[in-house]
Amino acid sequence: MSERMPDPDSLCARLASLHRERKSPNDMYGFHITTCQGRIPQSVMWETNWTTFFIKLLQHVIKLDSEFNGYWEELDKVENRLIAAVIPRLLNALTENGRSIHPCLIHADLWEGNIGTTKDGNTCIYDSAAFYAHNEMEVANWRGYYNKISDKVYTQTYLKYYEPSKPKEEWDDRNRLYSIYYNVIYSANHLDQGKAIRQL
């Protein structure tokens, strides 16, 4: 493997293909076994509703982050408001007014450390934390400043291969929302940096 950053077109074309072709076997969100991101088990029990699934997924890592990095009252208030108002507002819109999304397989921990480029230029992904989700959740991990793959060329290239779900004008808001999950699980996984990540 080369240590260079992956070619955006090679990575994003293959990723979009994965998201289109690997649909959930039961049309539900989740996975048949518990998967882990780093040392943290994820809450991936099957759910028919994406909003419900994402709330449970996020609540699980929020609880672990609080246990590992300490309770923070202000953060707790914001998280509760996020769960009660922001998540339902943004995610329910995906299935209103005749719109629909379908669960597809995502890697769920896709950053440059889990992507390799072979000497002949092929892109490989590994060390998955997979589950079936809304495809847009995958690239939210690319928003974190602590990943080199946060270069916008990767997200922009992915969107060339897989258009945003409707309402399209809320894509960036959903991307920001999904990135919260990755930030919180990063905080719980990296105890030496967790509190600093939470502060940001």
Q: Which of 119, 128, 134 is nearest to 19 (CA)?
A: 134
Q: Dmax of the chain from CA atoms?
A: 51
Q: What is the pLDDT of residues 20-56, one digit of tens each?
A: 999 999 999 999 999 999 999 999 999 999 999 999 9
Which domains does the chain carry? Answer: 8-199 (3.90.1200.10)
The region that residue 137 occupies, defined by phi over 0 for left and psi between -120 and 50 for alpha, beta otherwise, is: alpha
Q: Which of 106, 98, 114, 139 is nearest to 21 (CA)?
A: 106
> What's the pTM value of the predicted model, to 2 decimals?
0.95
Which stretch of DSSP H or E encloses residue 24?
Answer: none
Name the pLDDT band for 200 (thresholds 50, 70, 90). low
Tell me the pLDDT band of 13, cut-offs 50, 70 and 90: very high
Q: What is the pLDDT of residue 4?
A: 84
* Confidence class for position 195, pLDDT limits 50, 70, 90: low
Average pLDDT over residues 8-22: 96
Mean pLDDT value of segment 100-113: 97
pLDDT in tens, 113-164: 999 998 888 899 999 999 999 999 999 999 988 889 999 999 999 999 999 9
Mean residue pLDDT across the chain:
94
SS3 at position 183: helix
